[in-house]
Amino acid sequence: MMRVLIVMFSSFLIVGGTSRVSTTCTAEACLTLHLEKEHFEKASKNCIDNGGKLVTMRNDDELQSVKSAVLAAAAEGEKERVFSSKLWIGLSLQKRRCTDSTEELHGFRWTSEPEDSQYSYWKKKPLRTCTEKRCVSISLADDLRWTDGSCRDRAFYMCKFLSKGMCRPIVLEEQSEIKYNLPFLSEPLTLDERLVMIPHGTWAEVQCVGSEMPIISFCSNQDGPFDWTNSERFCAPEKRSCELKNGGCEQLCSVTAGGGVRCECREGYHLMDDKVSCAAKDNCENLPCEFKCLPTATGYSCACAEGFRLSGDNISCVDINECSEEICGDHWCQNTPGSYRCDCHPGFKLVAGKCEDVDECTELKCEQGCLNSEGSFSCYCHAGYILLADDRGICIDVNECILGKPCEDICTNTFGSFECSCREHFTLANNGISCVPNPTERAQITPALKESIITSLTQLPDGFGVTTVNPASLNKTNTKTDSIKSRTFLGSSWILVCVLGSAVPLIVLIVIASAFVIYRWKRSRRNTLKNATADNYCWVSSGLDSEQKKSNRSNYRLNNGQMRA
């Protein structure tokens, strides 16, 4: 049960001539809402300079206090501005600190407290970052839920001032004046109609009617309760009346026989030590409840610790079985007295009572690449590597030169890849794989002849030219490429040299063979015509010698014999 007294006092004030401020106090602290937009650092500095810090929202009580202060400001004629504007609170993520999804605050920290609670009220998860400072703001439009943003943005802000104690306002005659100088405000408060509690450290200027000098009084600890100093010197205390602000009493005011006033309380309440305040009677004095007793105006009520509930007698407490509500989801749940415990599956860890996935990739379990998944992870390797099958996440190089022979000529394995190269007289093509003849080298033909294609020909008649052709010597280089050399550089293409070097000898042979065939055909035809002409003429002596004649006769007989045949 929240026992925080939330009291709004003072309308908007002009502080320092520029800032519009609304002030609200609880029993432990005061809040000031500043309706001027500042960067986060500037807003924080302004609060510190006045003795406070940016407001915190570490639990539901503080949330309700902030909400009451903002709503009170909205009711003072600033509804439009307050409702739609952002408001800095003292929660931020420092630069070079990463967000942490395993925490309720996601790595953010309160600027005013040494210890951080795990209470959160996020509208959405904050931006994941490790390099940028992020600051949190709230807005009535979002029901004061937290939103992170750049600290360089401008927004309204609220300061929180802790107080050791509170004093009640001073009761004066109607005509008297009083000014309260709060320690965190530069201008005094003069509108005291709504003042219900005044923080410790405030000093008051009491100006009584007919008095030239004001009475100065301080709110301080007076041997127990907080009260004002010099209270006996306030204006005409003997004329204190129940008609004037109920005599300063919280509940009932009665007139004494001497004409003074006495404060009393309604049934169920008793008068506090300050003789003006009332508190409910302690009906829990006899400890009627098993765990906790809460006094009420008419009696008391019992309450149980977290994880327990009241039984049918409204006095004793019984354990709540949280596991029946599947509070651990798909994980194992074990009920304990007043609580429970989740036992998470492998790949999950317990965070704030819930099982959350473990990002194994942040633990560098993979040598190269890591892919996180729900409750597990998997390793992968970059191109050119393969994963060992031993579940250690180690990648080894793939020897592409052995597996696929990707190069046309020479292949050199490298870490994660390979390189192609070519032998002498060839260069690597644009595709990085094939080899083409080097266009910068001149083709040469080796002068030495390895073999003669035609060694001799039958003697031809005078005037008929004979050409002897020898093939060019071919130099073999390796199994992948041949180097062809020629005396004449035939263009810039080695391919043309290769083709012509192979075709020219063949063409020459064909020409010579054709010429020889034509020659034999013409000679045979000439002999045929000569024989036909000789049959119509008489032969005379040719002047040959006897040996030649004998030879001619023999040839003649032979020819005649052939003809007869």
- Which pLDDT band, with edges at 50, 70 and 90, does 145 fall under? very high
Residue 516 covered by a domain = no
451-510 pLDDT, tens digit per residue, is: 433 333 334 444 434 444 343 333 333 333 333 333 333 344 555 656 666 777 888 888
Claim to verify: residue 148 and residue 254 sit in the same structural domain: no
Torsion angles phi and psi, residue 119, rounded to 5:
-75, 135
pLDDT above 50 for 563: no
Residues 153 and 260 in one domain: no
Average pLDDT, the chain: 75
Indicate whether 121 belongs to any domain. yes
Q: Are 343 and 423 part of one and the same domain?
A: no
Per the CB < 8 A criterion, the answer to whether 29 and 201 are in contact is no
Measure the CA–CA gap between 413 and 406, rounded to whole angstroms. 11
Write down which residue in 226, 258, 280 finishes a domain. Answer: 280
Euclidean distance between CA atoms 508 and 552, whole angstroms: 40
Strands 395-397 and 385-387: antiparallel
Residue 501 near residue 445 (C-beta atoms within 8 A): yes
Is the same domain home to 377 and 481?
no
Which residues partner with 385 through β-bridges?
397
In which band, very low, low, confident or very high, does the pLDDT at 77 lie, cut at 50, 70 and 90? Answer: low
Is residue 16 domain-shared with residue 74, that is, in the same domain? yes
For residues 73 and 22, the answer to whether their CB atoms sit within 8 Å is yes
CATH label of the domain that carries residue 118: 3.10.100.10
In whole angstroms, give the CA distance from residue 548 to residue 552. Answer: 6
The reported pTM is 0.43
The verdict on residue 388 lying in a domain is yes
Tell me: do 101 and 45 sit in the same domain: yes
Token reading at 539? 């032969």
**C-alpha dist (Å) from residue 424 to 141, 378, 383, 490:** 78, 47, 31, 20
* CATH code for the domain in which residue 336 is found: 2.10.25.10
Both 93 and 142 in one domain: the answer is: yes
Dump pLDDT digits (tens) for 482-497: 333 333 333 445 556 5
Q: Which amino acid is at 386?
A: I
Do 381 and 496 share a domain, yes or no? no
User: Does any domain span residue 556?
Assistant: no
Comparing 294 with 27, which gets the higher pLDDT? 294
Q: For the chain, how many structural domains are there in total?
A: 6
Domain encompassing residue 370: 360-397
Residue 409 in any domain: the answer is: yes
Which tens digits make up the pLDDT trace of 269-304?
Answer: 778 766 777 877 777 877 889 888 887 766 788 999
Asked if residues 319 and 307 have their Cβ atoms less than 8 Å apart, the reply is yes
- 90 and 146 in a single domain? The answer is yes
- Look at the block and give the residue holding tokens 């002009």: 14
Mark whether 154 and 27 lie in a shared domain: yes
CA angle 294, 297, 302 (to 5 degrees): 25
Residues 16 and 155 in one domain: yes
> Does residue 274 share a domain with residue 128?
no
